[in-house]
Amino acid sequence: MDRRNFLKTGAVGVAASTLAAPAIAQDVMQWKMVTAWPKNLPGPGVAAQMLSDRITTLSGGRIEVKLFAAGELVPGRGVFDAVSEGTAELYHAVPAYWGSKSKGILLFGSQPFGLRADEQFGWMQHGGGQALYDEMYGRFGIKPFLCGNSGPQWAGWFKNEINSVEDLKGLKFRTTGIASQMAAKMGMAAEAMSGPAMFQALQTGALDAGEFIGPWTDSALGYYQVAKNYYWPGVGEPSSAEECGVNADAFAALPDDLKEVVTQACTGLYNPVWTEYTTKHAQALKTLVSEHGVNVRKLPDDVIAAMGSAAGEIMEEYRADDDELVRRITESFIAYRDLVGGYMTYADNGQMNARAGVLGY
């Protein structure tokens, strides 16, 4: 997709305003979904539209969802508050954007050296994560659902090569969530901004480096034009969950069958979104290397080790947080990571290592 086309459609539109309660005509509820993304941005923008269409279809048209891209109704970083306050019924974004509400929220999206996409969903569904997720977001009048995942994110786009921990110190670096806390402990100047804004900042020199998602979305945003070194692994975000937040009052007012429609529309989209990212990331990476001259580089081992130490310090801070709910979320996440991670040594990790070592066909 031409980067300029979807940036135009995602440009700031009408100013935010408080709208009336959902209109009901002939038993049809008209819901507004606000998103943190330019319209149809490859990856999250596409996923948001899929969710909007899915709720409308699965409800048999009883809930008509109209999507508003970032800036059309509220700014991208304003969607949480819009749904909390009832300006819109739904939002599509990522938990990594809401750390100012509570640091505990950040654990539901991604954690440095944390859960993979399948593990993240497993924690929600089978490890007690959803109950904690509901409890935290309930403080803000929101019913939350995970509805997709980007899979492993990348360490980012760097103008210069990284050969040691010292090379990171003082770098102006775009990232979000707990990864930004890790970057700060590494001596980097972490900056939070939108994906399109990151391109401009790299182009002007306001940033030295930055990460957004992965090859599919990153190539559409054109980062390869302004930084040629693309680093892996993205240990700051081993996966990044996308979420749908629903106004709690609007959700509670639904009949039981429509509650289930919204629930299944969200959770049932998790795997299709994740696997689309995986497939298109792989395709896009080939193009970035073969057609755009991108240098794919691995972070040095000492840098990864230093990041691990920084992440450990952050988790100890979370474990000792003044908010007992943050402490419970942290302990639950760590317990699930250790449980499933121990099993993965024999299961997925064992299979992947075997396949890489001896490819018989």
Which amino acid, 259?
A: K
Cα dihedral 184→187→192→196 (10° resolution): -150
| Both structure tokens of 7 | 């940036």
**SS3 label, residue 243:** strand
The answer to whether residues 285 and 296 touch, using CB atoms and an 8 Å cutoff, is yes
Q: How far apart are CA 179 and CA 174, in angstroms?
A: 10
Q: How far apart are CA 43 and CA 28, in angstroms?
A: 30
Whether residue 328 is annotated as binding a ligand: the answer is no
**SS3 label, residue 267:** helix
Beta pairing partners, 149: 241
Q: What is the SS3 string spanning 284-351?
A: HHHHHHHHHCCEEEECCHHHHHHHHHHHHHHHHHHHCCCCHHHHHHHHHHHHHHHHHHHHHCCCHHHH
Whether residue 26 is annotated as binding a ligand: the answer is no
- Residues in contact with 298: Cβ distance below 8 Å, sequence separation at least 6, in sequence order: 231, 232, 233
Vertex 350: Cα angle to 345 and 351 (nearest 5): 140
H or E stretch including 203? Answer: helix 195-204
Whether residue 211 is annotated as binding a ligand: the answer is yes
Within a 13 Å sphere around the CA of 296, how many CA atoms are in the beta-carbon half?
A: 15
Q: How far apart are CA 193 and CA 97, in angstroms?
A: 10
Residue numbers belonging to the annotated binding site: 153, 174, 211-212, 237
Residue numbers belonging to the annotated binding site for substrate: 153, 174, 211, 237
Residue numbers belonging to the annotated binding site for Na(+): 212
